[in-house]
Every structure is written in structure tokens, then in C-alpha cells.
Amino acid sequence: MRLLVVGHSYIVASNQKKYATLKRLNPSLELRVVSPPKVKGAFRSYEHEMCPGLGVDEAIAMKVFFNRSNMTYILDPMAFLKLLRHFKPTLIHIEEDPHSLVAFETIILASIFCPKIPISFFIWDNLNHIARFPLNFVKRWLTGFALARAAFIVAGNREAQKLLGTEKHYRGPSFVLPQFGIDYAAYLGEAKAEIARSVAKQTGVSVIGFMGRLVPEKGVLMLCQALEALKQLPWKLIVIGSGPLEKVLQEQWKPKFGERLALLGPGSSKDLPDYLKCIDILAAPSVSTPVWKEQFGYILVEAMASGAVVLGSSSGAIPEVIGEAGVVFPEGNVAHLKDVLARLLQSADERNEFSRVGRARAQEFFSHETVSASYMKLFQRFSNA
């Protein structure tokens, strides 16, 4: 099988591990994973990395045009055509929205030079957001054009899969899988000494972690409000992330909480497992908006793997990620969040049981090996190889 993958997410080495694992599972797999050389995120830019296990001809940073977002970029047509003609894929997997320009480009070029090759998509979209005129018509047409060509679609959550049929009128095969797995072993053992020192965990004090974008919809201010009503209990809050609410946390909540609040900045992805090993409870109190709701919540999976108790709101896909491995509360309900936190802070037995169940869930359903094996079955089923 010769698999061609297109997606901006694979600029990052940790995400490329999905396909490095796929190669280990199937050594005969020939692979090309194409992404832009540079991607601008919400709060930082990313440059192309290489994952051990993939060669320079397998993880390809291809020149792009109109690189304002993952919706607008296209790959260099001449370089892309050359790749298609020489590699001769037996399946093309696009990990971008069906209405993205690169999806349209990929389908057009493939229809000319390899018209019988199956094309599949990975999508996250779990919200039927209707753009303003005339973009709504453009988006609808591009989506319909892409889905009509799709051999199958992988949705990142159950609601995204449901919308495929109810709103996007897709009638082909669809499956629900995470986009990526995690390196389960990386979350076991003790944290590095320097990370443990920065958290400064004290005996008898439960460490609550918030890790993510510091924006209103992620709920960090709600978490602070809930903890303000629990000052009589022994806890410490560490916040790792960046965004517009940094100033509010520093100026409004740091004076109130003092040493009980540690603002550790954006952190680095390589240090994340060690920070998670230092916390007892991971909170994801997200709140849906008219244009956004949680599509997955990878930090929940990573926290489960580390043994932390996961506490999340009912926003989007959070409940299906947590399952029976943690606690879900109604989104936007600060009083309920406070009550759940109080219960967890006062019950070591309940925390220990959630920790046990969470570790097992992370390994069984979300490891690189499990996720990649599921993708391998789909690729083999639909490939023309």
C-alpha cells in the first residue's frame, strides 16, 4: 500500500508519531505525509519537525501558497503533481476540512492524474456553524464537492459523525476515531526534578491543573471562581497556557490566591508529561459558544495516562472522551464545579479509583498503537493496493 497524507497538523513531530507507528505495524507500507513548512497558530508559529522513524522522503514540508490559515493554503501545484506522478498512491487521506482549499486542490489534481484512487478525510467539525453570505454558499459547495468524492470519512467525535448525515448529506461510510494517539509510556514514572520543583507540591495539598488556551471559552476563570469558594480546603492551582486572559489571572487572581496559584506560562510540549505527573486533578471546564465547542480534549487523555483525575464540563466531546474515568459537570455551572471539586479534594479513595480507571482507559483506547492499528485497518480496507 502506498499512502499519501495531507494535513497541516503533521508539521509537528509528536503528531507524526501516528504514521511512524503505522509503519511499525506494517513494514511494507510506503508513506508520504505532506504538510506546510510553517504554520501560524493562535499564539505561536510552528516550523516543520521530523519524527524519529520517518525519513526525509516520508515527512515532507512542501512549499505552499496563501498560507494564512489551514483553510486557505494550497500546496505548490508543480511539486504536488510531481509527488503524485512518482509516488502513485493507492489511497489519499486528507486531514483538513472538506471545504479547505488544499482539499479542493488535492481532489482536482488526483482526479486528473490518478482518478481511480480512493480519497478519505479526517474531520473535527461538530458544530453546524453557517458562515455569512456569500461564504456560506462557497463553503457548502466545496463541502458537497469533497464529500461526493470521499471513499470514507473519519470523524474525531460522535457529533461530527452525526452532522455528516444530518447537515452535510453524506451517505458514505464513516467512523469515529481520535486524530492522534498518545505515547502512553511517556506519562508513567516520576516527573523530572526541575519540573517537580517548579510545581512545588506540598504534602497533603492536592494540585489542580489547567492546561490550555487562556481564553474565556476554556473556562479558566470559572475554575478560579469555584476554587475561591473552597479556600478552606488544601489545594494549589497550576495554570499552563497562554492567551488574552493571562493579564486577568496575573492582576486579579494572583493577589487573591497568592502562592496557591502558579502561572507557569505556555510551557513546552516535551515537558507536558512531567507537569501532568505532578497534578492530582486536571480540570477542563470549557463552555460552548455559538461558533465553538470542544471537539475532543487531548489534555484529558494525557492526564488520564499520567494518573490524574479528569474533571470536565459537558461541552462537546468531553463526556465521550472521559467516559467512566472521571467526572463530568454541566458546562457553565460554577456551583456544580465547586461541589465536584470539593468532593474530589476530600476523597483520596475516589481520586485513586478514578486514577486507576483513567490509566486503563488511556492505554486501551488512546495509545499510538491502538489508534494507529484502527487507522491501518481502514486504510487496508479501502486502499486500491
Domain co-membership, 66 together with 210: no
pLDDT tens per residue across all 385 residues of the chain: 999 999 999 999 999 999 999 999 999 999 999 999 999 876 678 899 999 999 999 999 999 999 888 899 999 999 999 999 999 999 999 999 999 999 999 999 999 988 899 999 999 999 877 767 777 888 899 999 999 999 999 999 999 999 999 999 999 999 999 999 999 999 999 999 999 998 988 999 999 999 999 999 999 999 999 999 999 999 999 999 999 999 999 999 999 999 999 999 988 888 999 999 999 999 999 999 999 999 999 999 999 999 999 999 999 999 999 999 999 999 999 999 999 999 999 999 999 999 999 999 999 999 999 999 999 999 999 998 7
Strand 91-94 relative to strand 74-75, pairing:
unpaired
How many domains, in total, are found in the chain? 2
Domain co-membership, 240 together with 314: yes
Domain co-membership, 32 together with 176: yes
Domain co-membership, 209 together with 146: no
Domain co-membership, 188 together with 153: no
Question: How many angstroms separate the CA atoms of 162 and 157, rounded?
Answer: 9
At residue 225, the pLDDT reads 98
Asked if residues 26 and 3 have their Cβ atoms less than 8 Å apart, the reply is: no
Domain co-membership, 274 together with 140: no
- Residue 287's nearest CA partner among 222, 345, 356 is 222
Asked if residues 284 and 209 have their Cβ atoms less than 8 Å apart, the reply is: no
Is residue 135 classed exposed, middle or buried when 0-12, 13-18 and 19+ CB atoms within 10 A define those classes? Answer: exposed
Domain co-membership, 252 together with 220: yes
- At a CB cut-off of 8 Å and minimum separation 6, what does 113 contact? 81, 84, 85
At residue 255, the pLDDT reads 97
At residue 375, the pLDDT reads 98
Question: How many angstroms separate the CA atoms of 213 and 297, rounded?
Answer: 12
Domain that holds residue 326: 184-366
Domain co-membership, 158 together with 198: no
Domain co-membership, 20 together with 151: yes
Where residue 344 sits, what CATH number does that domain have?
A: 3.40.50.2000
Q: How many alpha carbons fall within 13 Å on the CB side of residue 254?
A: 11
- Residue 260's nearest CA partner among 309, 208, 220 is 208
At residue 135, the pLDDT reads 76
Domain co-membership, 77 together with 173: yes
Domain co-membership, 371 together with 357: no
Domain co-membership, 13 together with 26: yes
